Amino acid sequence: MDAATKELLRKPRCGLPDVTPPGQNRRKRRYTLQGQKWHHTNLTWSLRTRHLERIDHGWVRADLHKAFQVWSRHSKLTFREVNSESADILVFFEKGYHGDGFPFDGPGQVLAHAFFPGSGRGGDAHFDEDEEWLLNGKETSDGTSLFMVAAHEFGHSLGLSHSSVQGALMFPWYQGHLRSDSELPDDDRFGIQILYGSKDDRIWGNIPAYRPTPEHPTTKTTTTTTTTTTTTAASTTTTTTRAVTRNPVTNSVTITPRVTMTSGTTRTRSPDVRIIPADDKPNYCNTSFDAVSIIRKDTFFFKDKYTWRLGVKNGLYPGYPALISRLWYDLPENMTHVDAVYEKQDGKIVFFIGRRFYMFNGNILVPGYPKPLTALGLPEELDHVDAATVWGHNSKTYIFSGTMYWRYDDETERMELDYPRDMAIWRGVGTNINAAFQWHDGVTYFFKGRDFWKFNDLRMRVDRADPRSVGQFWFNCSAAADGGSDKGRVTVVKGKTDGRAGDWPTESGDDNQTPNSSAVPVRGGPPLLSLLPIAVVFLRRRRSS
């Protein structure tokens, strides 16, 4: 991550996740239309927070009025302030948790958020009352312009999502340079006129096209992937917005999914499509695996209906591959493969299969499961995930699918607000991966096809650009059995490697830190999983990625 990206991440930003609607992820367009719009152009708004502790109510209304005028000057929209809860756009100043599922965080960072057009809470805008708001055009280094932030949030209220153009009003990070009499930047002007037309029915010319980011990013830390990505640290191509039904008596809210966006995933997998003959067991030397995970201190590789189990000291267990359903017998009988598997920090095991996920305590299905992916806060249109793992750098759970990833907080059981983000931040990993997992040394490994990469957490990139062979490194296969060359081949001698694979997974010489072995599988049934609970120490580390 370069200095410019780090500096950008320190700036306050909008609390709305970045969005790319279906079909826009390949269009060469920088402004982004969320997909919803108002069906009338004479809109009403109302400031519903009557008592503000540190700022003048009248000046607030004046700045909100100016923010609406930014959009009306360049479109057919008109805005009228009313004193009514039935206004199209309701404006609130709130603190912390305020009933919509998107809590504020105090001064700095998230400044405000807004809902896209629609019924219920659709179109409403919420501002963090704890911020040091500057009113009536004042600009200092110690505060935030309410006019500037309001103009941005009202863009969301009208149907615009975040732009990847730095300098655009809809850029997600606070920039603080737009005056109330300024012209709207071209990127924002073109977007609003596509939705609602211009006053003279003339649409501005097309925004110049730009090249999308290649699938395997190399050294750049700033990316312009398709339409809405901004930087590798916060760019995404999909999200879930929420519609919230107002209760005028109690002001409580009911959150339901409203519009979710497709992931741009190029690989689709359905549990009901692929049928594997009962005796057609994959060859671990020349196959790509569906999932990899550490479970009860052993490494499990999953392919189709089968799993292989590798011990830390003794290598491949006898009797493998075994049917996955023999170990976790509450999985679907017609299951043909798993999409992702990981062990939570509390020892529970999570399987992702299509649109659902299963949670096991040992090999016993936890009551209430399976559940839909949406229960985790993932988009409704997401039909599978590619990988899931706990990242050793911050002990957070990461879920990957296609060109994007999410971060899940197991302590609060919530998907974090500023996600999904673009896979480009994991430099060198690429998109549409097959698997990811954290090994015993805390290092994360990413798998795609028959290759894998070790990831460097400090540099936020793969340890080396050229991948290693899964079969040769983890299963001690020969190059001939792998179907490839000797590239990445590791020779095991008393737990040490021959050095050609660099230092991974270890060069300590400790047998307990060597994942591969020359053990040969023999006939017989696989040993059952140990169901003894394990103690887990939770460590809170600094927030990252």
Q: Where are the domains of the chain?
A: 1-262, 288-513
Rounded Cα distance between 84 and 362, Å, is 55
Average pLDDT over residues 26-35: 43
Is the pLDDT at 300 greater than 70? The verdict is yes
Is the pLDDT at 83 greater than 90? The verdict is yes
Closest CA relative to residue 436, chosen from 459, 458, 415, 457: 457
SS3 content of the chain, % helix, strand, coil (to 5): 15, 25, 60
Known binding-site residues for Ca(2+) equal 88, 105-106, 122, 124, 128, 131, 290, 339, 388
**Which band of pLDDT confidence, cut at 50, 70 and 90, is reported for residue 473?**
confident
Segment holding 69, helix H or strand E: helix 57-72
Phi-psi region of 39 (alpha: psi -120 to 50; beta: other; left: phi over 0): alpha
User: Domain 288-513: which CATH class?
Assistant: mainly beta
Examine the residue annotation and report whether 129 is marked as an active-site residue of this protein. no
Reported residue count of the chain is 545
Cβ proximity of 280 and 323 under 8 Å: no
Residue 69 sits at φ, ψ, to 5 deg, of: -65, -25
Distances (CA, A) of 525 to 126, 294, 326, 510: 59, 21, 10, 29
Is the pLDDT at 271 greater than 80? The verdict is no
Q: Helices (DSSP H) in 406-542: which residue ranges?
A: 470-475, 479-482
Residue 512 has what pLDDT?
Answer: 35
Is the pLDDT at 360 greater than 50? The verdict is yes
Catalytic pick from 153, 413, 416, 507? Answer: 153
Rounded Cα distance between 86 and 123, Å, is 12
User: Domain 1-262: which CATH class?
Assistant: alpha beta
Among all chains, which residue has been given the structure tokens 């930087």? 231
Residue 483 has what pLDDT?
Answer: 58
Tokens of 224: 């312009």
**What whole-number percentage of the chain has pLDDT above 90?**
28
Residue 378 sits at φ, ψ, to 5 deg, of: -80, 155
Residue 352 has what pLDDT?
Answer: 96
Residue 498 has what pLDDT?
Answer: 31
Residue 58 has what pLDDT?
Answer: 92
Mapping DSSP onto H, E and C, the string for 163-196 reads CCCECECCCCECCCCCCCCCCCCHHHHHHHHHHH
